């Protein structure tokens, strides 16, 4: 697997906030300089996991699938300083109760890892992935999430992940059988968005990993993605749609921006900008710098911006380039819609910490041991 890239777009305000989605936590909690972020307190000594179900390293996925997208981390040395996430969860992002980590917390109150996983992972709002091709139920399932967020006055984060030839046949292969079927699936996905604020991460890997396709196949995919963005925003003008920019260790910014432009990411009719670092480990500072380069090359209106997945980037990418459940990683910054950074719209937890990339379990399944490792690093 090649290395991945990231993109960022201009916001138009000096602070980089999405004012309509501001969670009111202020800019101090989310700056790239992490020396002022609170460190995690000392963790209890935990005995080796028992063979009981509560200590299972790989458990069955929740009814709402959250598949892992595959992308390599860049083989750069780990940063000398770690990025520690802030303690407070966003008060404006929606936390959907049906997730694998929430299930584990409810079912394993006696596990010695329970309090750490509950407070540091389950308490944080995270994305809900729609990764299976189920046209007949997709509208109602998306609506269940968006209506839940609307009822609480909070902003849900949903991931559309059903593009044909997904992951180039890798660990997260699957998706719709063809682009016609995908277009129909997107129509039905959009019908569940409601009318409230919602963030849509549109097809991780679909742009950055498009090199596995022929030229004609790539053009057809990009046309379908551009259509998808228009459909989503037509269905709900309050939806914010972000396109795949990979991450800072993958493609050059100009290359990534050229593909993104073909996929509709520069048009406000289909896009609010780009996302980067989904399911990867690159530092927030590296992603900010790269995303701004991509946004500069992308063009488009100043309202475009970037969102960054900070769920597992607290220690940066591993030096050996390992992308699959690498050891020594840590939680990153808490999700926030207020970053204090120009052109950076949000820090989000798109990949739920503890869900496997495919090495500590089947891709997308929750591993309590992996979750605890991330929360205690």
Alpha-carbon span 63 to 128, nearest angstrom: 11
Output the CA–CA distances (angstroms, integers) from residue 337 to 129, 207, 224, in the order listed.
19, 24, 28
Say if CB 374 and CB 331 are below 8 A apart: yes
Strands (E), 203-358: 239-244, 273-276, 305-309, 344-348
Output the CA–CA distances (angstroms, integers) from residue 262 to 120, 235, 299, 331, 349, in the order listed.
39, 22, 12, 34, 27
Strands (E), 70-168: 128-130, 157-160
Lookup result for tokens 């406000």: 268
Q: Active-site residue among 103, 205, 272, 325?
A: 205
Q: Which of 351, 287, 376 is closest to 68 using CA atoms?
A: 351
As given in the structure block, the two tokens for residue 371 are: 């979750």
187 assigned to active site: no
Burial group, residue 42, by CB count within 10 angstroms (0-12, 13-18, 19+): exposed
103 assigned to active site: no
205 assigned to active site: yes
Alpha-carbon span 176 to 178, nearest angstrom: 6
Burial group, residue 213, by CB count within 10 angstroms (0-12, 13-18, 19+): middle
Alpha-carbon span 296 to 95, nearest angstrom: 33
Largest CA distance in the chain: 55
Q: Active-site residue among 23, 165, 286, 357?
A: 357
Query: SS3 for 259?
Result: helix
Q: Active-site residue among 103, 167, 309, 325?
A: 167
Specify the DSSP element, H or E, that contains 251: none
The residues annotated with a catalytic role in the active site are 167, 205, 357
């Amino acid at each position: 697997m090649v290395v991945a890239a990231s993109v960022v777009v201009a916001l138009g305000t000096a602070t980089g906030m999405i004012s309509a989605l501001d969670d009111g936590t202020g800019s101090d909690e989310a700056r790239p300089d992490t020396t002022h972020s609170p460190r995690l307190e000392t963790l209890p000594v935990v005995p080796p996991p028992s063979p009981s179900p509560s200590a299972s390293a790989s458990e069955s996925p929740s009814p709402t699938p959250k598949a892992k997208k595959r992308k390599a981390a860049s083989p750069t040395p780990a940063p000398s300083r770690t990025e520690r996430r802030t303690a407070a969860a966003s008060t404006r992002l929606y936390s959907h109760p049906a997730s694998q980590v929430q299930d584990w917390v409810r079912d394993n109150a006696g596990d010695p890892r329970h309090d750490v996983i509950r407070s540091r992972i389950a308490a944080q709002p995270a994305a809900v992935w729609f990764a299976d091709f189920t046209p007949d139920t997709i509208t109602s399932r998306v609506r269940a999430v968006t209506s839940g967020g609307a009822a609480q006055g909070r902003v849900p984060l949903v991931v559309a992940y059903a593009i044909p030839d997904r992951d180039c046949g890798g660990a997260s292969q699957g998706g719709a059988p063809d682009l016609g079927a995908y277009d129909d699936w997107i129509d039905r996905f959009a019908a569940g968005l409601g009318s409230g604020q919602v963030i849509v991460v549109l097809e991780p890997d679909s742009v950055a990993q498009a090199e596995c396709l022929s030229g004609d196949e790539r053009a057809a995919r990009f046309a379908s993605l551009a259509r998808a963005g228009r459909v989503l925003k037509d269905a709900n003008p309050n939806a914010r749609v972000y396109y795949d920019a990979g991450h800072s260790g993958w493609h050059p910014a100009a290359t990534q921006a050229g593909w993104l432009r073909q996929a509709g990411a520069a048009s406000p009719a289909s896009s609010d900008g780009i996302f980067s670092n989904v399911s990867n480990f690159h530092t927030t500072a590296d992603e900010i710098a790269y995303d701004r380069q991509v946004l500069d090359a992308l063009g488009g209106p100043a309202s475009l911006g970037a969102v960054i997945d900070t769920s597992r980037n607290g220690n940066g990418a591993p030096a050996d380039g390992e992308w699959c459940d690498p050891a020594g990683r840590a939680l990153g910054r808490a999700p926030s819609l207020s970053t204090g950074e120009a052109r950076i719209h949000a820090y989000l937890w798109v990949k739920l910490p503890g869900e496997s990339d495919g090495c500590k379990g089947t891709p997308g399944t929750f591993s309590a041991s992996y979750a605890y490792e991330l929360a205690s690093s």
